[in-house]
């Protein structure tokens, strides 16, 4: 038994103030999730805790008066404080600060992510404007790791990471403790990457109770679905399982929804951390449905490493008990050959055709060529144990042995998966079979139902380009398109995405009102366009989040350039109001540049990768975005993607940054704040120089670079600019902040309460030395 392990389990169902006015944002699964995780911890074949006293459980409830939701931030932090008290007591008894062997932290509820690999949980009394009612889960994990209270650490967060919060995460309010030895092993996993959402589902195996899809996949893995060839569930095997099993429980609507995370965010997965030993994999009920002409013919089911075939006779419906993994079923006499994946009870219609499988001796290698026909595609090859075999960008050619493999392709946030058995007769994989196009904030092209949006966009672009050509060469244009889009096949009507959308200049004078000065269309998915010629300079796109604050972001209008801002408001299945989370994309073009759908698609995919801070740069993409940059937005995104690569790999050559910054200066001048920000990371000294900024940059990562630069020259960033953007929120990759004075004041007060040790790269002007990047 593991008598030295401890756990803190937090599940918050009730959020009476976090939803829209007059509504709550309650969840159904967190309390059930906590109960299920606790059951695994107490299971002798699971966590093997010796006593329930080792577990602190914190679940939703109301006060006796019934008017306040619990737990509050203080109650949750008290649970962590108890560990500190135990450590101090041990120290007083001359036993050192060590509390135990392993600490489990499980969190289920509404959450948000203030930055990459950072996760926060909203307390039950949180509201949209009172973001201080949160617990910085990763902050507490880091504090406890630094203190060395345990040898091993586990953090599981079943939370959405898409909620908007304008205030600081609440870091641990304890003085730091520095241990002499680092943790032996750590496992950290979030249900969703920033800025995506996690989902709840009914679980038939648990009496149709509602659980987080992530939590149930996690528990399946811990109970054996993630066991390796030696019957152990390790940090590595559990991570591999979660990456592949999360979407198995999702409905078709979830799988189509670009806002739903199809994979978890695995922050750390130490292979040396062992969760269970001697656990056999489960068997799932798999029903295969075959066409009538296959009945009675020989059928072979391939599985394992290396693949072996089990012979049987085909029936119209076949129910098989199968362990997790990859399979290929073939009926040669009917021309059927189809791969599939087993991570859950599932029904599969066998309809795909192909040549009979040709077995090969062990050690025989075959070429596998994968080309999704998209330079921004990410490619992963996974084996039957869900381990990563190979990966690449844009396209991949790799020799592999006779075997079962899953080809996973990601373009933007769209995932496509295809199971194959690689043999000598395997035909090439067509791009349409292994790739799904990325979702876009721009109107889709080529679909009849979206024709009106695209036609109106083209008309607005033509107007903007005409104004540029007819101008004196010193002006710019702004084009704004606001559109609604439903995540179902049925377009939503009577939605006004242009409501409370406007553009103002640096003095807050109205430049564009989408409610008054735009061409609006209310049929099907509504949309509106507006175009305005403007002097070059800084402008602000303003939106009012439904039942929430007014938010702003920069629009930098450059001489002889047209800047386009696309605002998308999506509706979710079963909902009739657009999501409160805005989506914005930017494009730029000169008077002689007509829309280039292929380039726009690449830039949009790169924008999503930058928002998620993923490494997607291939040689082809470097040529388009960096070496031969012709579009400033593409160049800015490419420059930041290059810096993301260096963050993951400190040895990464970023000499191309000098190339793209030089090109950007020629395209838009050296006073553009985003170009100035990228210049701070260039090797060439002249590219690092810039004048004081006239406005905030458009990209969130640009602001962080400028804040770091301001440590050397505070006058580079005017005090008024600091004050304007103080209430920032995480809506990457663009920089967004609240324009409400009350929120700005609350954010300033919140920042003053942040311990100095937790401020990062922050040198605000005199009198406002509280602002963090």
Per-residue model confidence as pLDDT tens digits over 647-673 = 999 999 999 999 999 999 999 988 899
- 102 & 194 share domain: yes
What is the predicted pLDDT for the residue at 644? 96
Q: Is residue 506 part of a domain?
A: yes
Q: Averaged over 320-325, what is the pLDDT? A: 98
The whole-angstrom separation of Cα 329 and Cα 331 is 7
Quote the pLDDT of residue 759: 37
773 within some domain: no
Same domain assignment for residues 516 and 550: yes
Within a domain: 768: no
pLDDT, position 760: 37
* 455 & 591 share domain: yes
The answer to the question of residue 259 being in a domain is: yes
Residue 765: CB partners within 8 Å, gap ≥ 6? 714, 717, 718, 719, 722
pLDDT at residue 42, as a whole number = 98
d(CA 296, CA 318) in angstroms, rounded, equals 12
Residue 85 pLDDT > 80, yes or no? yes
Measured from the Cβ of residue 522, the count of other Cβ atoms closer than 10 Å reads 13
Are 161 and 100 in contact by the 8 Å Cβ rule? The answer is: no
Q: Write the CB contacts of 472 (distance below 8 Å, at least 6 apart in sequence).
A: none
Q: Where are the alpha helices (DSSP H) in 565-689?
A: 597-612, 619-622, 632-648, 656-668, 673-679
Of the three residues 568, 595, 622, the one that is the final residue of a domain is 595
Residue 87: the pLDDT is 96
Residues 430 and 530 in one domain: no
- Please say if the pLDDT value at position 324 is more than 70: yes
* Strand 298-303 to 583-589 pairing: unpaired
- Give tens-digit pLDDT for 536-577: 999 999 998 766 789 999 999 999 999 999 999 887 655 556
Mean pLDDT of 396-420: 95
655 and 591 inside one domain: no
| Alpha carbon distance 192, 515 (integer Å) | 35
Instruction: Work out how many domains the chain is built from and give that number.
Output: 5
Banded model confidence at residue 64, pLDDT cuts 50, 70, 90: low
Domain for residue 772, yes or no?
Answer: no
Say whether pLDDT at 734 is over 60: yes
Q: Which of 249, 276, 303 corresponds to the end of one domain?
A: 276
Residue 11 is part of a domain; what is its CATH number?
Answer: 3.40.50.1460
Query: Would you state the torsion angle of the CA atoms of residues 253, 258, 259, 264, taken in this order, to the nearest 10 degrees?
Result: 90
Average pLDDT of the residues in 586-612: 92
Are residues 95 and 191 located together in one domain of the fold?
yes
Q: What percent of the chain has pLDDT over 70?
A: 91
Q: How far is Cα 191 from Cα 266, in angstroms, rounded to an integer? A: 9
Residue 443 lies in a domain: no
Indicate if the pLDDT at residue 762 is higher than 50. Answer: no
266 in a domain, yes or no? yes
Do 418 and 541 fall within a single domain?
A: no
> Domain check: are 614 and 557 in the same one?
no
Listed range (6-20, 148-162, 487-501, 533-547) with the worst mean pLDDT = 487-501
Asked if residue 374 and residue 329 are part of one domain, the reply reads no
* pLDDT reported for residue 670: 84
Same domain for 130 and 208? yes
Residue-number span of the structural domain to which 676 is assigned? 606-758
Q: Which residue did the predictor score with more confidence, 403 or 718?
A: 403
Is residue 303 one of the residues assigned to a domain?
yes
Mean predicted confidence (pLDDT) in 241-252: 93
Residue 131 pLDDT greater than 60, yes or no = no
- What is the pLDDT at residue 115? 84
Q: For the whole model, what pTM was predicted?
A: 0.92
Within 8 A by CB and 6+ apart from 430, the residues are none
Same domain, 293 and 175: no
Considering only residues 728 and 324, tell me which one the structure prediction assigns the higher pLDDT.
Answer: 324
SS3 211: strand
- Domain end position, chosen among 276, 311, 328: 276
pLDDT at 206 over 60: yes
For residue 472, pLDDT over 70 is answered with: yes
Spatial distance between the Cα atoms of 265 and 386, rounded to a whole number of angstroms: 16
The answer to whether the beta carbons of residues 441 and 541 sit under 8 Å apart is no
User: Does residue 761 surpass a pLDDT of 50?
Assistant: no
Identify whether residues 89 and 198 lie together within a single domain: yes
In 71-229, where do the E strands start and end? Answer: 100-109, 111-115, 118-122, 134-136, 150-159, 185-190, 200-203, 209-212
Residue 257: other Cβ atoms inside 10 A: 22
The CATH number that applies at residue 384 is 2.60.40
Neighbours of 469 (CB within 10 A): 12
Angle at 112 between CA 107 and CA 115, to 5 degrees: 115
693 vs 82: which has the higher pLDDT: 82
């Amino acid at each position: 038994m593991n008598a030295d392990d401890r756990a803190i389990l937090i599940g918050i169902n009730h959020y009476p103030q976090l939803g829209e006015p007059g509504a709550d944002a309650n969840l159904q699964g967190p309390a059930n999730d906590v109960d299920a995780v606790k059951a695994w911890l107490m299971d002798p074949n699971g966590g093997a805790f010796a006593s329930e006293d080792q577990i602190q459980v914190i679940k939703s409830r109301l006060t006796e008066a019934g008017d306040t939701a619990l737990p509050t931030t203080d109650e949750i932090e008290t649970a962590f404080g108890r560990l500190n008290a135990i450590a101090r007591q041990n120290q007083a008894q001359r036993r050192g600060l060590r509390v135990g062997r392993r600490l489990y932290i499980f969190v289920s509820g509404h959450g948000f992510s203030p930055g990459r690999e950072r996760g926060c949980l909203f307390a039950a009394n949180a509201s949209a404007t009172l973001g201080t009612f949160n617990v910085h889960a990763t902050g507490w994990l880091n504090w406890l790791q630094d203190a060395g209270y345990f040898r091993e650490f586990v953090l599981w967060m079943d939370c959405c990471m898409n909620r908007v919060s304008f205030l600081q995460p609440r870091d641990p309010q304890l003085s730091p403790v520095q241990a002499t030895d680092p943790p032996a092993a750590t496992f950290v996993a979030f249900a969703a990457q920033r800025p995506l959402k996690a989902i709840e589902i009914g679980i038939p195996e648990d009496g149709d109770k509602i659980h987080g899809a992530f939590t149930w996949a996690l528990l399946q893995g811990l109970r054996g679905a993630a066991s390796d060839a030696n019957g152990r569930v390790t940090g590595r095997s559990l991570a591999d399982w979660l990456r592949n099993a999360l979407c198995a429980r999702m409905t078709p609507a979830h799988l189509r929804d670009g806002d739903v995370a199809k994979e978890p965010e695995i922050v750390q997965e130490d292979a040396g951390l062992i969760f269970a030993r001697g656990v056999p994999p489960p068997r799932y009920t798999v029903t295969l449905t075959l066409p009538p002409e296959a009945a009675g013919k020989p059928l072979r089911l391939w599985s394992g490493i290396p693949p072996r075939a089990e012979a049987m006779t085909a029936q119209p419906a076949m129910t098989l008990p199968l362990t997790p993994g990859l399979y290929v079923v073939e009926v040669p006499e009917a021309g059927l050959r189809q791969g599939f994946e087993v991570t859950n009870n599932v029904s599969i219609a066998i309809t795909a055709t192909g040549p009979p499988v040709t077995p090969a001796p062990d050690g025989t290698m075959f070429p596998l060529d994968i080309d999704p026909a998209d330079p921004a595609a990410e490619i992963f090859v996974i084996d039957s144990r869900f381990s990563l075999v190979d990966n690449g960008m844009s396209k991949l050619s790799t020799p592999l042995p006779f075997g079962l493999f899953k080809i996973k392709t990601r373009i933007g946030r769209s995932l496509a998966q295809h199971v194959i058995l690689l043999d000598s007769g395997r035909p090439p994989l067509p791009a349409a079979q292994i790739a799904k196009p990325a979702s876009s904030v721009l109107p889709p092209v080529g679909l009849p139902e979206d024709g009106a949006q695209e036609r109106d966009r083209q008309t607005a672009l033509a107007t903007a380009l005409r104004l540029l050509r007819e101008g004196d060469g010193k002006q710019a244009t702004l084009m704004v398109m606001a559109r609604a889009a439903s995540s179902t096949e049925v377009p939503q009507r009577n939605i006004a995405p242009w409501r409370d959308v406007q553009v103002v200049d640096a003095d807050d004078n109205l430049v564009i009102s989408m409610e008054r000065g735009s061409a609006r269309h209310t049929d099907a998915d509504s949309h509106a366009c507006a175009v305005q010629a403007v002097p070059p300079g800084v402008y602000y796109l303003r939106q009012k989040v439904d039942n929430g604050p007014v938010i702003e972001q920069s629009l930098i209008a450059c001489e002889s350039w047209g800047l386009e801002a696309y605002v998308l408001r999506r509706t979710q299945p079963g909902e009739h109001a657009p999501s409160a989370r805005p989506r914005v994309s930017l494009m730029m073009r000169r008077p002689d540049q007509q829309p280039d759908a292929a380039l726009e698609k690449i830039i949009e995919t790169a924008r999503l990768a930058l928002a998620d801070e993923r490494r997607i740069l291939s040689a082809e993409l470097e040529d388009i975005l960096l070496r031969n940059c012709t579009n400033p937005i593409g160049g800015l995104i490419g420059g930041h993607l290059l810096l993301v690569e260096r963050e993951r790999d400190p040895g990464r050559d970023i000499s191309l940054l000098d190339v793209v910054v030089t090109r950007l200066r020629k395209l838009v001048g050296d006073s553009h704040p985003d170009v100035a920000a990228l210049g701070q990371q260039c090797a060439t000294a002249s590219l690092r120089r810039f004048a004081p900024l006239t406005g905030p940059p458009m990209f969130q990562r640009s602001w962080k670079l400028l804040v770091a630069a301001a440590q050397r020259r505070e006058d580079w960033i005017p005090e008024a600019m600091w004050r304007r953007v103080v209430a920032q929120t995480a809506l990457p990759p663009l920089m967004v902040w609240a324009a409400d004075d009350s929120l700005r004041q609350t954010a300033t007060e919140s920042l003053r309460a942040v311990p100095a040790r937790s401020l990062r790269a922050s040198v605000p002007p005199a009198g406002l030395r509280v602002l963090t990047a």
